[in-house]
A and B are shown apart, each in its own frame.
Chain A
Amino acid sequence: MNYGLLTTEILTAVLGLIVLIAGLLLPERGKKAVGFLAVLGLTVILANVILNFGHEAVFFNGVYQIDIYGNFFKVLFLCAALLVFFMASRYTEFFGQRKSEWFSFMIFATLGMMVMASAGDLITLYVGLELMTISFYILSAYLLNDGLSAEAGIKYLIMGALSSAVLLFGMSLIYAASGSTVFTEIYRTLSAAGNIQPVLVAGIVMMIAGLGFKISAVPFHMWTPDIYQGAPTPVTAYLAVASKAAGFAALVRILLVALPLSLFNWSLALAVLAALTIVIGNLIALAQKNVKRLLAYSSIAQAGYILVGLVAANSYGLKGVLFYAMLYVFSNVGAFAVTTMVEVETGSTELEAFNGLGQRAPMLAAVMTVCLLSLAGIPPLAGFAGKFYLFSGAIQAGYLWLAFVGLLMSMISVYYYLIVAKAMYIGISQKEGPILVPLTARLALWVCLAGTLFIGLYPGPLSRITEMAIGLFL
């Protein structure tokens, strides 16, 4: 065992603690340094993951696995965290004195996601998941003076705790059926036993329900709109992209390593879930008047598209899952970054607040339009390439109807994405004058724009990396 490969997780934990303590020790004037420290630390950790990208190791008899698949998701989480830190530069002023702890909780949430992506065992998965979720309970209630934020926090806590109890009950039933908590051991015992016991089926169903909550799949999506709307916008951005990706990372690994299709055919159940998620997410999004709530329903729909790839469970589909999760970071953080700027400027995230953005801040409007069109899957943007992989995977696996539902609903989704664009370019603003965009936020916007365009025009490199990452399942 090469313990050096655990540096990523150890460094992240240390960074979280250092940021927490620095926030307490530094004088009021020095608090700005905390943000720089967090960004610098995460950049170093990101460099460390990229340098050790191809190294693989199994720790403690399979309890923790470092592999390309896990590293891919770690890069994704770190990129998302960095982009959110950059775009939140003005928003963090709202947190007042507690600004430095905000960075620390974000880093701990990142650590939890990393553990989830690498967990090879139910206990590790659970601990990682709770580290992430408990950090998010605090983060979503971070605006103490804002009633919406407190409400979002308590709702997330109740729904999150309920879902993790269901997840745990499912885990205990899987433990009962297999006598082990390590994924590879579970597979070995169950495939040796041959027959499928009802207790195992109940366990799998409850576990899919628990993780389905994290990825906000219908019918476990009820929390999403409220928490997305109430939480501070940068937290919503991170919740939308990274916590969802972490849920998928865990779901894919557990379903394909511990309970592969040869053992138990879960694909039809997931296909129904995916179709429901796509249809309901897109249809309810049509009626939304608040941009954060609209993006919440859109993110439910996106989770449905990603599930299509898992349903297919072939090389195209799985490649699509990872590919889409990555491009989703750029497109969605871009959209939320613009929403953050508008919220800081106007104090609102209602659709009217976006009126006239095309004149007041052409750059913001352009980034928003590109990102939303990418989410809608318009070529040549990144979303199109991602959906191409996902739906061709589904067609190859014989789920023609599911691909059809996905295509139809992506066409419908263009409508509500364009409503935002219409407000920005045709709507007339109450206020005049340009919107101030700080340098760091501008950097985040450029990265999101460049990422969305680059992945769409030239999907080759990312596609090759995802192919390496899914090698372990095929």
Chain B
Amino acid sequence: MIGLNHYLLLATILFGIGVYGVFSKRNAVAILMSIELMLNAVNINFVAINKFIQPSNTIGQLFAIFVIVVAAAEVSVGLALIISIYRHKKSVNLSDFNLMKW
């Protein structure tokens, strides 16, 4: 039987993979994808907690929908910024964005 713990474990692993991706990838698009992974881990968390702890209401699912919408806005701004910097540098590699020290 799959219980809450399995879902939480899955979400934590996904979140960990996302964090690893953000810190190890150098390509800006890949980093955005890793961040999406982290946000989706949060969504799994919310929906699972909603189902197993508070099945009487849908606050967790509601939160997940808000997260999805905001993540979409964030990614569209992110891709626009990547295009804008690509025009300057002809690169989407973070190591090339070094006018200022990290």
Which residue of the partner chain B has the closest CB to A168?
Answer: B42
Which residues in window 289-348 of A have CB below 8 A to B?
none
Chain B residues, Cβ within 8 Å of A155: 97, 102
Task: Name the CB-closest residue of A to B19.
Answer: A162
Nearest CB in chain A: distance from B62 CB, A: 7
Contact A161 B60 (CB under 8 A): no
Please state if A150 and B49 are interface contacts (CB–CB under 8 Å): no
Closest-CB distance, A80 to chain B (whole angstroms)? 23
Cα-based distance from A148 to B97 in the complex (angstroms): 9
| Structural contact, A130 and B70, CB atoms closer than 8 A | yes
The stretch among A35-43, A52-60, A137-145, A382-390 that forms the contact with chain B is A137-145
Of the candidates B19, B63, B66, which one forms a contact with A175 in the assembled complex, judged by CB atoms under 8 Å apart?
B63
Q: What residue in chain A is nearest B96 (Cβ atoms)?
A: A151
Q: Which of B63-78 contact A (CB under 8 A)?
A: 63, 66-67, 70, 73-74, 77-78
Find out whether the CB atom of B59 lies under 8 angstroms from the CB atom of A151: no
Contacting residues, chain B, for A226 (C-beta < 8 A)? 100-102
Write the chain A residue with the least CB distance to B34: A162
Q: Which of A154, A173, A175 has the most CB of B within 10 A?
A: A154
**Complex CA–CA separation, A24 to B14 (angstroms):** 43
A229-B100 in contact given A153-B84, A158-B31, A172-B42 (Cβ < 8 Å): yes
Nearest B residue (CB) for A160 = B74
Contact with B88, one of A126, A127, A150, A162 (Cβ below 8 angstroms): A150
B35 lies within 8 A of A158 (CB): yes
- A225 interface residue per 8 A CB criterion: yes
Surface stretch bound by B, among A176-184, A392-400, A441-449? A176-184
Are A168 and B73 CB-contacts (below 8 A) given A151-B85, A157-B78? Answer: no
Q: Does A212 contact B (CB under 8 A)?
A: no
A225-B99 Cα distance, complex, nearest whole Å: 12
| B31, B35, B53, B97: most-surrounded residue (chain A CB, <10 A) | B97
Q: How distant is A420 from chain B, measured CB to nearest CB, in Å?
A: 20
A residues less than 8 Å from B89 (CB atoms): 147
Contact B41 A151 (CB under 8 A): no
B7 to chain A, nearest CB (A): 11
* A137 in contact with B77 (CB, 8 Å): yes
Q: In the complex the two chains form, what is the Cα distance from A226 to B70 in whole Å?
A: 25
Q: Are A165 and B82 in contact (CB under 8 A)?
A: no
Give the total of B residues in contact with A, Cβ under 8 Å: 42
A130, B63: Cα distance in complex, Å:
13
Are A157 and B81 in touch, CB under 8 angstroms?
Answer: yes
Residue of B11, B38, B63, B99 near A151 (CB, 8 A) is B99
In the complex, what's the smallest C-beta–C-beta distance from A146 to chain B, in angstroms? 9
The CA-CA distance from A120 to B30 in the complex, in Å, is 35
Of the listed residues A161, A162, A229, the one surrounded by the most CB atoms of chain B closer than 10 A to its CB is A161
B67/A168 in contact, CB under 8 A: yes
> A255 interface residue, CB < 8 Å from B?
no
Contact across chains for B38 and A154 when beta carbons are under 8 A apart: no
Residue of B nearest to A153 (CB): B81
The answer to whether A148 and B100 have CB atoms under 8 Å apart is yes
Q: Which residues on A sit within 8 Å (CB–CB) of B97? A: 151, 154-155
The interface residues of chain B lying within 8 Å CB-to-CB of A411 are none
- Taking a contact as CB atoms under 8 Å apart, the answer to whether A158 and B28 are in contact is yes
- With A127-B66, A154-B28 in contact, is A172–B45 under 8 Å at CB? yes
Tell me the complex Cα distance, A173–B60, Å: 11
- Asked whether, in the complex, the Cβ of A165 is within 8 Å of the Cβ of B18, the reply is yes
Q: Which parts of B8-41 form the interface with A (CB within 8 Å)?
A: 8, 11, 15, 18-19, 22, 28, 31-32, 35, 38-39, 41
Q: What is the minimal beta-carbon distance from A228 to any residue of chain B, in angstroms? A: 10
Q: Does A230 contact B (CB under 8 A)?
A: yes
Measured CB to CB, the closest approach of chain A to B24, in angstroms, equals 13
* Residue with the greatest number of chain A CB neighbours at <10 A, chosen from B19, B54, B63: B63
Q: Are A134 and B73 in contact (CB under 8 A)?
A: yes
CB distance from A15 to the nearest CB of B (A): 20
Q: A122 contacts the other chain (Cβ, under 8 Å)?
A: yes
Please, how many angstroms separate the alpha-carbon atoms of A175 and B57 in the complex? 13
* CB-CB under 8 A for A169 and B15, given A123-B62, A154-B28, A158-B35: yes
Q: Is A222 on the interface with B (CB-CB < 8 A)?
A: yes
Mask: chain A, 169-199; 1 = CB below 8 Å from B; 0 = not: 1011101100111000000000000000000
Q: Which 3 A-B pairs have the closest CB atoms?
A: A165-B38, A172-B45, A150-B85
Seen from chain A, the residues whose Cβ lies within 8 Å of a Cβ on chain B are 122-123, 126-127, 130, 134, 137-138, 141, 144, 147-148, 150-155, 157-158, 161-162, 164-166, 168-169, 171-173, 175-176, 179-181, 222, 225-226, 229-230
Some 16 contacts from A to B, beta carbons below 8 A apart, are: A123-B59, A126-B63, A126-B70, A138-B77, A147-B89, A147-B99, A150-B88, A153-B85, A154-B82, A154-B97, A157-B77, A161-B74, A162-B38, A165-B35, A181-B59, A226-B101
Given contacts A123-B59, A126-B66, A168-B39, 10 further A-B contacts (CB under 8 A): A127-B66, A134-B73, A134-B77, A138-B77, A157-B74, A168-B67, A176-B8, A176-B45, A226-B100, A230-B100
Seen from chain B, the residues whose Cβ lies within 8 Å of a Cβ on chain A are: 8, 11, 15, 18-19, 22, 28, 31-32, 35, 38-39, 41-42, 45-46, 49, 53-54, 59-60, 62-63, 66-67, 70, 73-74, 77-78, 81-82, 84-85, 88-89, 94, 97, 99-102
